Structure 1
């Protein structure tokens, strides 16, 4: 019974934590690789790129190669034809991403990134969009080749902040500094409902239970707390619940020999 209670509490925490990452920036298919939307606020890169077929940004990496990038529109540089990103290494020019092979990702903190596929020799390009409201001139920096043939960069700009830019550049909107979106929007409606119902139920249980213990059983002091022993043992119950939930999974994973790495 104690393990079941602990496991139930853990499930509630897991449910609400999953809701934290439910708010994703969804790509606008009419502006592929340029615009994604958090609810009703856009991350809009259209003003950051060139529209004349040339690249907007270049950087020399720690690997001594030079990288060229242009958001939204393809550019041509030597052997890199109609690309989003290009690598120049020892006089050789190779595509590291096509403008029409894009996927937007959003992590649990709201950080948006764009993955570009379609490069030469299965090369890909990952660009993290760093929100900085004071950065009106975008900064493009090399992060590294974290995974073989996947070249990672940071693009820091006010236009990486939701609601701050349009096709013509910074709009001046979006409110003050801080988190990209409110705590309520990150948790989401299902998470708020679950948390609210949980605390309402606990409060009602405690209030009604204390009245019953005082009036019906004439208890005083800490003895008016219903199921006092259960609440005092709660930390150990949560620990038992965690072990109950995850130990079988860990054993199964070990038997299967599977695993994954996270960057």
Structure 2
């Protein structure tokens, strides 16, 4: 059972490392309230720019979106002054004769979800956990020659979610990673299976060949490694301050 616990822990660690490496592949860099660059390993792939959809008239926002028993007015890049006043409201929720601000242009955030999907969030007040927020999932749709926004749900309360489909969001994002695998990817492919094989074979040998109680291969090395690292650290650090570590002879001492 100890061997199985070791093996399960190893697989979990390897899986976590692979997920972290994968999630670091693409990134979205915000360049303005409604603009962003999508990069792969730091190399620009394409740009998100909603300015062509923005109304220059603050009294006439571009979009009116029904959903959830409300109507949402939306101007992607600049604020509106009616019916939600303030000048920086990019999303305004209309509920009968009442209206509520649901996101400002100066509190917008881009998040990469997956290839062809970017989340654009507008906060009303990031410091206020109860303030309304609007989330637009910018979705690549090669058939959507015109922008199409649909209401999805309110989840949790006060957080309004929309799907925003448009052909322009497809940009130049490839179906697979451009330029092949990175050096880090090759390292993961080579090193991680080798480490996993080492532990799997070691556990099998310990259990069925040596028939020992400890299933961890080279357990003496691994259990002493933290102490060795600690000794090495304290051996090096005092040298920079001129002190010496008790128990070690100074180099060059006669």
TM-score under structure 1 length normalisation: 0.61
Counterparts of 1:192 and 1:32, CA distance in 2? 37
SS at match of 2:64: strand
Find the partner of 1:106 among 89, 107, 112: 112
Equivalent pair of 1:22/1:186 in contact (CA under 8 Å): no
Structure index of larger Rg: 2
Aligned to 2:132: 123
Q: Measure how far apart 1:45 and its partner are.
A: 2.3
Q: Measure how far apart 1:127 and its partner are.
A: 1.0
Counterparts of 1:185 and 1:18, CA distance in 2? 20
Counterparts of 1:135 and 1:69, CA distance in 2? 19
Runs (5+) with no aligned partner, structure 2: 208-254
Equivalent pair of 1:32/1:100 in contact (CA under 8 Å): yes
Aligned to 1:154: 163
TM-score under structure 2 length normalisation: 0.63
User: Which stretches of structure 1, 4 residues or longer, exceed 6 Å deviation after superposition?
Assistant: 184-188
Runs (5+) with no aligned partner, structure 1: 165-173, 207-226, 234-263
Deviation string 1:82-113 (CA, Å, 9 cap, x unpaired) is 21101111112221011111111223566311
Aligned to 1:194: 188
Call closer, same or farther: CA 1:192–1:77 in 2, change over 3 Å. farther
User: How many residue pairs end up in the alignment?
Assistant: 194
Counterparts of 2:174 and 2:121, CA distance in 1? 21
Please tell me whether residue 16 in structure 1 is matched to residue 18 in structure 2: yes
Q: Measure how far apart 1:187 and its partner are.
A: 8.2
Q: Measure how far apart 1:21 and its partner are.
A: 1.7
Deviation string 1:209-255 (CA, Å, 9 cap, x unpaired) is xxxxxxxxxxxxxxxxxx69949x9xxxxxxxxxxxxxxxxxxxxxx
Counterparts of 1:149 and 1:185, CA distance in 2? 42
Equivalent pair of 2:30/2:36 in contact (CA under 8 Å): yes
Q: How does 1:50-199 map to 2 (within 5 A)?
A: 50-53=55-58, 54-62=60-68, 64-82=69-87, 83-107=89-113, 111-118=117-124, 122-161=131-170, 164=171, 174=172, 182-183=176-177, 189-198=183-192
SS at match of 1:182: coil
